[in-house]
Amino acid sequence: MDAKEVAARRAVADVQEGMILGLGTGSTATHAIRLLGERIQQEGLRIRGVPTSQRSKAQAEQLGIPLVSFAQVTSIDMTIDGADEINPALHLIKGGGGALVQEKIVACATRELVIICDANKIKPQLGAFPLPIAIIAFGWQATLRHLEAFSYPVHIRTHTDGSPYRTDDGLYIVDMACGTIPDPVAFEQKLKSLVGVAEVGLFTNLAQRVIVGYEDGTTQIQERS
């Protein structure tokens, strides 16, 4: 069995009638969106989704999941999303798929952020996965120099033709190869203090629950104290 799908199935089983759900972005979140579509078709489950990217929006629409814009809601009951790395304190690195800004806005407005993953995403420390940082396109060269002052290798994310990758918000993504991030909370604050940085792919103190799926069909649940 696909471990990510196992985790997604466990999370989707907790979705209740009438919920407003944040719909994550990425390869793991696509499983959850598909399974939500199945519940709607098979059970008549009534929910509304708030997508975190154009990709999750398109998938949800194709599956017949009713959507509502973020501007129309004051709070979100549950968000189901993936992560690139998770440490024991349930701090996350997200943004490998480029949707970190909208993902964080939705995460901060949700009552319960549920992260689904396989065991490979659980790490003793964050930082092996390059840290995505969303920056303003104007003056990006100056912002890059500020980020280089942290003495970690950084590069602008590009398409295969060499052109800069742009997020749904029109931002550029810088990937920073930190190696390890001993204090994710403090590092997030330092990076966000830089002029030109729009958002950082460190999601600290946001995930309430992490569901780890395994190929044998079992799951392990970790909750933030």
43 and 119 fall within a common domain: yes
135 and 182 fall within a common domain: yes
Out of 103, 112, 148, 223, which one is annotated catalytic?
A: 103
193 and 211 fall within a common domain: no
5 is catalytic: no
105 and 61 fall within a common domain: yes
pLDDT tens-digit map of 40-71: 999 999 999 999 999 999 999 999 999 999 99
Which CATH number goes with the domain that contains 189? 3.30.70.260
**Nearby residues of 90 by Cβ (< 8 Å), 6 or more positions away:** 115, 207, 208, 210, 222, 224
**Nearby residues of 8 by Cβ (< 8 Å), 6 or more positions away:** 28, 29, 31, 32, 35, 80, 116, 213
217 and 196 fall within a common domain: no
210 and 195 fall within a common domain: no
Q: How many CB atoms lie within 10 A of CB 148?
A: 13
pLDDT tens-digit map of 153-176: 999 999 999 999 999 999 999 999
Tokens (6 digits) for 89: 């304190």
Q: Residue 102: how many CA atoms within 13 Å on its side-chain side?
A: 24
Residue 199 is predicted with a pLDDT of: 98
For residue 159, what are the domain limits?
131-200
Residue 225 banded pLDDT, cuts 50, 70, 90:
confident
7 and 114 fall within a common domain: yes
Amino acid at 32: A
9 and 95 fall within a common domain: yes
51 and 150 fall within a common domain: no
Q: Give the CA distances from residue 90 to residues 10, 93, 156, 185, 211, in Å, rounded to whole numbers and listed in that order.
A: 18, 10, 27, 12, 11
Which CATH number goes with the domain that contains 65? 3.40.50.1360
154 and 210 fall within a common domain: no
19 and 82 fall within a common domain: yes
Residue 213 is predicted with a pLDDT of: 98
Residue 127 is predicted with a pLDDT of: 98
